[in-house]
Structures are given as structure tokens and as C-alpha cells.
Chain A
């Protein structure tokens, strides 16, 4: 498709068209701007904002606006909430994005093989997937963390391992849907190899829902990690939005800012990613282009 004179420029205009479609979706652009800001803050913020998230800098339970208080107040130990949000975002986003990519990769490989080849390959891979799917995800993640020990890397692995079956199912469903289309049959009749049909013919068509799903998975992974942290099941020395909420949860009624701001950070990030995902789905629909 791309390796052709007439098509080379067409593909370029194709992706430019996709970008144009994306930019036309105001909500998606808003999501992208917000998410970029959040990403920049988590990357450069800890360096620029001098206060450490682990140090006690002021008396505990200072609300935002109190004298001596940092911008967003302090927690039960007198640590700066804003510093926590800036530093914790790094862990949260890293875990979520890597876990989502892992989920996507596992899901894509297993789902596409099962959906494309069908028969016994499908049965085998789907039974294997179900083993992971039937286990309660929180318990399963716990077992993985207990076995491997806490730490950001193992937490990511645990989240990825519990979430990929849904990705495999979705990919398989998409492949099943497209496999029987006549243009896929035509590709086989032309003599395209299975690999080429899977990745050049079916995958681009199956990609938009998968891409949208991946963005949602990032949100789910943020929440999942927050849940683990909230329960105190992650590395106690790491700062993340979830662990901030978890550690302050006993004071939520008396010092709302200790949980509200990390919670808001999770919500805003999740929302911005979801908006991006929505925009991507439209952007990759060739029928909407050029309008």
C-alpha cells in the first residue's frame, strides 16, 4: 500500500487527513492539550517545583488558603499536597501507560492469532485467556505482587497481566468480523500471505476501536493502580495519586483537600485521555475525511 509511487503521497495525505479530522474535534483537541500539560508537569514538575513530596514542610492538615500553607494544603504528616501530585503523577502515568501498552500487545498478538486462524488455535488461545479472565482481577494482581514483591515494575506487570484478556477478546472479535469480508477474501485470492493479510489488511481496519479501547485502558490502569495504592498494596515508599488518597483516606471528612486534589488529578487525566480516544476514532475513519 505504501510501497507504491501513486500511493506514497496518498498515504501522506491520508495521515494528514487523519490529523485534520482530529484537530476538527474540539473536545479531542482539548483533551490532548490537557493531557500534554499533565505529561509535561509530571516530567519536568518535580525538578522545577523545589519542595519534596516526602518531606514534612508545614504543620499537618493546613487547608488551601491557610496561612503558611502551600498552595493545595498539607496532609496528615504536613507534606505538601501539590508536591505529591506533581511527583505522584509520574508513577501513576508511567504504570498506567506501560500497563496499557502491555495489555494491548498481549491482547493484539493473542487475539489476532485466535481470530484470524480460528479452529483449534482459537480454542486453545481462548481457553488460555479465560484462565486469566475468570480470576478476580484484584486478587490476581495481589498474588502477582506478593510473588514478585512490590515495586513500580511489578505493579505494572500485575496490572498488565490482569487486564490483557479483554484486549485479546476485543481484537479477536474485530478479526472475526473483518476476516469474512470480501476484500479480505480478495487479498487471499491475490495470494497475500497470512501475515500480510493480518497486519496490512485486517489490522488497519480493526485498529480504531482497539486504539480507543487502549486509551480507555490507560484510564482503567490509573484507577486500578490507585485502587491497589489505596489499599496500601504498593511500594510504601513510592508516591502516586492513588497512594496519596489511600494514606489520607481516614481524614477525608475533616480535611477534604488531602484526597480531593489527587482524586481530581486522576479524574482530569482520565477524562482527557478518553477525549483523545474519542477523537482518534473519528480521525481514522476515512469516510469522515475530506468533509
Chain B
């Protein structure tokens, strides 16, 4: 699963995608620059990096909440970059997202059962009775009591809400779920529960995940492959073992060095990240230098420094 199979096409393929946001004074934020990656069926690709590196923008680009400036996104071989909302609807069933903030990602005025049912009714894939059955099934799947169906979001804890969001994302039986910092806002114990749930669901339903996180401990647990993002570009991409055991790029090394170790005797002199990351804002017409990647071993790409 670690390298791209020759005979089997990837579930999703992102090719040289870029996104810039205009700022007030003729300058542009280069949020994502020339990012390419792919995710195979049943695989988890984690995208890591610190705040502001463009991880969430990448997620929004893939789910088409933003339109990419350049590049293509191939979902099962179909280019979804230029599709209009109507054409995109079909593909939304394949592609779903779970957001970071469990307190903001559910409509406070809609009972959770109805929230989970909304994808089914919007896509008209189920009658009312079927939708009710499916919502009950989804609640069971994510480990929520059926008696909670008619509760409002504010009556739930963060972990429960995130389960509701996962249930909603799964309602259309997607193949790829983007988890945009989906466990970052949760307590560590709840984090573990939700991650276990995601792993179980992956086993049962053959889901693929694009798992966006800044928490390397979480990533090490859930990811098959890891992409390290820095200032909108991927600086290192490889299997979990390759990236965690044998980091090649200096930024990856520093990122790994910043993970606290609970044992003071194991403290090492790893280089830490100091200072703020440089600004991704460039005057019009200028931009960051594009990195070139070298494949240091099969499936392990490292940006040249």
C-alpha cells in the first residue's frame, strides 16, 4: 500500500495543485503551491505541518470548497477540478469531510438525527423511512445511543459530536473521508476513541482517509503514508516508517524533534523549530521557489534544500 501500484489506479490523484488568496494590497497568500499526491483505496495519507502551512486549504481544495488556481484533481480517474456544483454532486457521494471544531460543525438548530439524515435527503437516495433506518444504523456504527437521535448538538460532548459528524460523513457511503484536524480539538482519551472508531470503520468499509493533523503522535498511529507540508509545499512524502524512522528533510527532522518525550533521560539534542515560519505572502507576480523532489528510496520523496 505504500507505493503506487502499477496495475491499480489510485482513488484520488492530486496533480500540481496551487491556490493563492488575494490580500488587500496587491499581494497574495500562497497557501498551497504545486502540491501533488495520491491516495490508494483503503489507505490513510496523513498531511502534517504546523499552523498556516496550507493543510486545511489543501483539504478544502480537494473537497472543492475552494477552486484551485492551477492543477488537477482526479477522483477515480475523473477530473473534478472544473465541474460545476451540479456535476460535482455525484462525486460528493464519494468524497466527504469531517471538520476540526466539533462545536461549530453541526447546525445548532437541527437535531442530530436530522443532520445525519441531511445528506440522504439532499441526494434523494433514500425515502423518509429508509433514511430513518439508515440514520439508526449509522448511529450504531459510530457508537452513539439511538435515544440521542432527537437531541440538539449542544446536548453532546465534543467526542460525541465528532461521532455525529463522522456518521454524517459516512451517510452517503463515501470512499474517501477527509479528516481536517478531526481529533485535534478532543481530549486525549476521547481522541483515542475517535481514532479507534476511524480505524475500525476503515477496516469494515474499506475507507480511505486524508488525515490532516499537526499532532505527530496521532499521525504515527493512523497513517500509512505521511506528507510533510511546509509553507504550502510538500517537503517530504513517504511511508510512515520512512518519514518517522528516516526523516531526510531538515524541516521533518525539526518537526519530529519538537515532539515532547515523557522521559527526561531520553532528552536528546534534536534541533528544535525556532521563530515563526516565514510569511507565505508575496507581492503580485512573485512567489516562492518551487521545490524539486528526489526519490531517495521507492515511494520516499524529499525536497531538495
Using a CB–CB distance below 8 Å, which chain A residues touch chain B?
1, 3-7, 9-10, 13-14, 181-183, 185-194, 196, 201, 204-205, 286-287, 289
Task: Tell me, yes or no, whether B105 is within 8 Å of chain A by CB.
Answer: yes
Task: Tell me, yes or no, whether B65 is within 8 Å of chain A by CB.
Answer: yes
What sequence of 0s and 1s flags, for each residue 130-149 of chain B, a beta carbon within 8 Å of any chain A beta carbon?
A: 01100100000000000001
Shortest Cβ gap from B235 to chain A (Å): 28
- Contacting pair A189 B92 (CB below 8 A): yes
Contacts of B149 in A (CB 8 A): 6
A190-B92, A286-B109 as given contacts; A182 in contact with B154, CB under 8 Å = no
A1-B110, A6-B114, A205-B109 as given contacts; A193 in contact with B121, CB under 8 Å = no
Shortest Cβ gap from A1 to chain B (Å): 5
Q: A286 vs B156: C-alpha distance in the bound complex, in angstroms?
A: 13
What sequence of 0s and 1s flags, for each residue 64-93 of chain B, a beta carbon within 8 Å of any chain A beta carbon?
A: 010000000000000000000100110011
- Contacting pair A191 B154 (CB below 8 A): no
| Total interface residues in chain B, CB < 8 Å | 42
Q: A190 vs B174: C-alpha distance in the bound complex, in angstroms?
A: 11
Shortest Cβ gap from A112 to chain B (Å): 17
A1-B110, A4-B128, A185-B65 as given contacts; A196 in contact with B122, CB under 8 Å = yes
- Contacting pair A10 B150 (CB below 8 A): yes
A and B contact pairs by CB, cutoff 8 A, 15 listed:
A6-B113, A6-B117, A7-B114, A10-B113, A10-B150, A13-B150, A182-B105, A186-B99, A190-B92, A190-B123, A191-B85, A191-B92, A191-B122, A194-B85, A201-B107
Task: Tell me, yes or no, whether B118 is within 8 Å of chain A by CB.
Answer: yes
Shortest Cβ gap from B152 to chain A (Å): 5
- Contacting pair B109 A190 (CB below 8 A): no
- Contacting pair B89 A191 (CB below 8 A): yes
- Contacting pair B108 A5 (CB below 8 A): no
Task: Tell me, yes or no, whether B7 is within 8 Å of chain A by CB.
Answer: no
Q: A10 vs B111: C-alpha distance in the bound complex, in angstroms?
A: 7
Cβ-neighbour of B122 out of A6, A7, A9, A192 (below 8 A): A192
Q: A289 vs B95: C-alpha distance in the bound complex, in angstroms?
A: 35
Q: A191 vs B90: C-alpha distance in the bound complex, in angstroms?
A: 8
- Contacting pair B99 A182 (CB below 8 A): yes
Q: A286 vs B104: C-alpha distance in the bound complex, in angstroms?
A: 15
Can you add 8 more A-B contacts, CB < 8 Å, to A3-B128, A10-B113, A205-B107?
A6-B111, A190-B96, A190-B122, A191-B85, A193-B85, A204-B109, A205-B109, A287-B108
List 9 A-B pairs, minimum CB-CB distance, nearest first: A7-B114, A191-B92, A182-B105, A182-B99, A5-B132, A182-B104, A191-B89, A190-B119, A10-B150
Task: Tell me, yes or no, whether B129 is within 8 Å of chain A by CB.
Answer: yes
